[in-house]
């Protein structure tokens, strides 16, 4: 259904069909013109043009009553005309978020589709754009069903993740230096001899008693 929708709504509708599909010149030169076929095709095209208004009128009937129509009619007249454009936008957004390149991404398809349908509602035509987490029924649902936090690995971009990894690696290489190791051993020995942890615990106990 999505492919049919994109076929009916191409991304470049202004491009002439003659530029979309090129026919080799040899096809028109090597094959002789059959006048009988030409006349029959011309007559068929004339009949088609005469019957075109009737076909267009038959292809756009009045919408059925949503309360009494069949499930198929309800889907075709009330669900698919609204849902298919949203699914097409969903696929384009998923491609931008590189969902087809990795197994795990931060992109949640149901959230995007909910936000898109809510903002495209004809009843909200004159209202401003509302983010997903600001939609009233979404806020009410998340109060009773809070989501776990998204892992940091999905929130960071490749550049941000590379900076964190490189800084950790530089710190590790510095800590491996012999002088730094000696300093760290001295600090550890100092903490053990003066019982730093015990002193800090006693300090906070006195502070809480006050």
**Tens digits of residue pLDDT in 50-78:** 444 444 444 556 888 888 889 998 898 88
- Residue 131 has a pLDDT of 92
Report the helix count and the strand count for the chain, using DSSP H and E: 12, 0
- Residue 193 has a pLDDT of 78
Residue 192's pLDDT band, with cuts at 50, 70 and 90, is confident
- Residue 4 has a pLDDT of 59
Q: Which of 54-68, 75-89, 189-203 has the lowest mean pLDDT?
A: 54-68
- Residue 27 has a pLDDT of 39
Residue 199's pLDDT band, with cuts at 50, 70 and 90, is confident
Residue 5's pLDDT band, with cuts at 50, 70 and 90, is low
Spell out the domain ranges in the chain.
67-149, 156-200
Tens digits of residue pLDDT in 107-143 = 889 999 999 999 988 888 888 999 999 999 999 999 9
The answer to whether residue 42 scores a pLDDT higher than 80 is: no
- Residue 102 has a pLDDT of 77
- Residue 122 has a pLDDT of 83
Tens digits of residue pLDDT in 138-191 = 999 999 999 888 888 888 888 898 999 999 999 999 989 999 999 988 888 888
The answer to whether residue 14 scores a pLDDT higher than 50 is: no
Burial 16-29 (b: 16+ CB within 10 A, else e): eeeeeeeeeeeeee
Residue at token pair 């599909």:
21
Would you say how long the chain is, in residues?
210
What is the number of other CB atoms lying within 10 angstroms of the CB of residue 132?
A: 17
């Amino acid at each position: 259904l999505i492919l049919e929708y994109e076929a009916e709504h191409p991304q470049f509708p202004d491009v002439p069909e003659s530029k979309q599909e090129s026919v080799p010149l040899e096809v028109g030169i090597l094959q002789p013109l059959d006048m009988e076929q030409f006349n029959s095709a011309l007559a068929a095209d004339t009949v088609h043009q005469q019957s075109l208004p009737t076909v267009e009128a038959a292809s756009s009937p009045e919408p059925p009553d949503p309360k009494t129509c069949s499930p198929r009619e309800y889907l075709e007249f009330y669900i698919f005309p609204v849902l298919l454009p949203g699914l097409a936008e969903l696929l384009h957004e998923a491609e931008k978020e590189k969902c087809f390149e990795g197994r795990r991404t931060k992109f949640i398809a149901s959230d995007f589709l909910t936000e898109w349908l809510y903002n495209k509602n004809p009843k909200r035509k004159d209202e401003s754009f509302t983010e997903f987490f600001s939609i009233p029924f979404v806020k009410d649902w998340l109060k009773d069903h809070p989501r776990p936090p998204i892992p940091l690995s999905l929130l960071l971009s490749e550049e941000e993740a590379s900076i964190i990894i490189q800084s950790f690696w530089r710190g590790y290489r510095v800590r491996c230096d012999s002088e730094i190791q000696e300093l760290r051993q001295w600090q550890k020995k100092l903490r053990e001899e003066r019982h730093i942890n015990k002193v800090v615990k006693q300090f906070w106990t006195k502070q809480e008693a006050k």
